[in-house]
């Protein structure tokens, strides 16, 4: 798996600036104010920083932007990076500033002088989030990123403050690795094995195999994977960091390791992207990793349904009727609407076994949500205004786009079936909403619940705020924030 770039925090030593190799970075306020490290850099560079501040280029620069002076005179460094940053920058702005620094540094060693400025730990998290590559399947060995050093005031305290933030960054990297993996590598068995390895972090990880799933009555989940040679599984990850009497938050992820559409076969164009259809399970895994790494004082259980949706002589057919673990019957109109069949059984199982305080499911569920929200926001559906508001606040605090979508009886009525309790699709109108309505049928009335449709944000073809193109890790930061704000023991 991808490991975070080595990062160290040391007490400010301005005398080390002249001999520092690689890249050097200092911070300058948009009004041109130079702090002590910036003044030292200016003196070493024969006034180059002051001349930059007086230039039109600087006057047009925005907070969070990096301006580079190559091969500065009086320094051993290959570049002097000037980070323009407002003194009152909030956490999102600080994190994005770190991302900007990581982008310009490439793989070169970087030393950042933050002086007495607050928020160095958040800048560090931004650098860690952006400093990601997925080169596992390239034959040419890529250059490993060199270390990052942060020179700061009270380095011991900053390092301690950065530790939980870097744990979250590692969780996001874990999610990205899973989502980026090709399906011939990340089979259901391999996925489960990687989650089992997290027992070394203190998680209790349990793998439910097909015979157990059949005994439990998870027939809608099993119907999705029955056309594949890869066995369907449910993996349960428990983190018990809170009080024993506290009911857990349940995180539930769709883990379709590859989605051909089944008998309702997808078009060939773009089908290669369906390696990311396990994105919901990937986010749950990354969030659980982050919580374990930072020893969160909360009880959280992560459950992921791992299947592969393939066409074969044993595959589920359009028109088949299957019975869920809950006992409701489902007429399968379209085998490409498979994620909701996986989640339905896992949602019900989570409630029956754990009686959670609340539930959140995540899934790359519908193309319709991309039409509605593009790649900027995940779709948020909920049966509880307070719980939904808490999540939206957490997502906003972490700079992860999320937008609430409606639910309602008229949408639910689209799921009526002539021969079963419901259909698995409700037609093209409101496709992401009817998918959420399907899931809500498997949520008990007294359970606060959120459905996150992450089809547009899990993996994208251009850089995002925190990640290079490809898997984004969206959701790990927001879920971690929600747990920290709402579910941790005092």
- Active-site residue numbers? 266, 340
Structure tokens that stand for 104 in this block? 């310009």
CA gap 301, 318 in Å, rounded: 34
CA gap 46, 36 in Å, rounded: 15
Closest CA to 391 of 473, 478, 454, 458: 478
CA gap 49, 54 in Å, rounded: 9
* DSSP conformational letter for 235: E
List of long-range contacts for 39-43, beta carbons under 8 Å, 24+ apart: 40/14, 41/17, 41/72, 41/75, 41/80, 41/113, 43/74
Strand, coil or helix: 85: coil
- The three-point CA angle 215-216-221 to 5° equals 105
- The three-point CA angle 398-400-401 to 5° equals 140
* DSSP conformational letter for 273: G
- Tell the burial category of 139 from Cβ atoms under 10 Å away from its Cβ (0-12, 13-18, 19+): exposed
Query: Would you tell me how many other CB atoms lie within 10 Å of the CB of residue 362?
Result: 28
CA gap 148, 110 in Å, rounded: 5
CA gap 362, 450 in Å, rounded: 9
Closest CA to 135 of 148, 127, 126, 144: 144
Closest CA to 488 of 283, 240, 259, 305: 240
């Amino acid at each position: 798996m991808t490991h975070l770039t080595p990062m160290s925090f040391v007490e400010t030593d301005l005398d080390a600036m002249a001999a520092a190799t690689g890249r050097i970075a200092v911070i300058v306020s948009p009004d041109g104010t130079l702090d002590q490290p910036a003044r030292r850099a200016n003196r070493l560079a024969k006034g180059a920083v002051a001349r930059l501040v007086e230039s039109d280029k600087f006057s047009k620069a925005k907070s969070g932007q990096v301006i580079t002076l190559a091969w500065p005179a009086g320094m051993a460094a290959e570049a002097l990076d000037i980070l323009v940053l407002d003194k009152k920058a909030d956490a999102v702005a600080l994190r994005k500033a770190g991302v900007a620094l990581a982008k310009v540094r490439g793989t070169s060693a970087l030393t950042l002088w933050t002086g007495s400025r607050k928020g160095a730990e958040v800048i560090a998290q931004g650098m860690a989030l952006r400093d990601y590559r997925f080169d596992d399947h390239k034959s040419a060995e890529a250059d490993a990123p060199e270390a990052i050093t942060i020179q700061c005031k009270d380095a011991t305290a900053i390092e301690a403050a950065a530790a939980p933030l870097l744990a979250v960054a590692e969780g996001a990297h874990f999610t990205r690795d899973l989502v980026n993996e090709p399906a011939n590598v990340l089979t259901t068995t391999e996925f489960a094995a990687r989650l089992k390895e997290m027992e070394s972090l203190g998680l209790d990880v349990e793998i439910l195999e097909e015979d157990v799933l059949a005994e439990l009555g998870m027939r809608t989940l099993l119907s999705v994977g029955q056309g594949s040679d890869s066995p369907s599984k449910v993996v349960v990850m428990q983190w018990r960091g809170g009080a024993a009497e506290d009911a857990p938050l349940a995180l539930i992820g769709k883990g379709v390791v590859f989605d051909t559409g089944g008998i309702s076969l997808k078009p060939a164009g773009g089908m290669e992207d369906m390696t990311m259809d396990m994105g919901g399970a990937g986010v749950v895994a990354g969030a659980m990793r982050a919580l374990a790494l930072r020893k969160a004082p909360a009880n959280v259980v992560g459950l992921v349904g791992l299947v592969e949706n393939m066409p074969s002589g044993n595959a589920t057919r359009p028109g088949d009727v299957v019975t869920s673990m809950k006992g409701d019957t489902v007429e399968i109109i379209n085998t490409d609407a498979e994620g909701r069949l996986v989640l339905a059984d896992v949602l019900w199982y989570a409630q029956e076994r754990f009686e959670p305080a609340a539930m959140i499911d995540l899934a790359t569920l519908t193309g319709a949500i991309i039409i509605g929200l593009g790649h900027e926001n995940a779709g948020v559906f909920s049966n509880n205004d307070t719980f939904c508001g808490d999540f939206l606040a957490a997502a906003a605090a972490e700079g992860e786009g999320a937008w609430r979508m409606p639910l309602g009886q008229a949408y639910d009525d689209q799921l009526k079936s002539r021969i079963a309790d419901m259909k698995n699709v409700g037609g093209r109108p409101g496709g992401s909403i009817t998918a959420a309505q399907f899931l809500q049928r498997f949520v008990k009335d007294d359970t606060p619940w959120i459905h996150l449709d992450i089809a547009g944000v899990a993996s994208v073809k251009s850089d995002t705020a925190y990640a290079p193109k490809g898997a984004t890790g969206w959701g790990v930061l927001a879920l971690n924030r929600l747990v920290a704000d709402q579910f941790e023991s005092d």
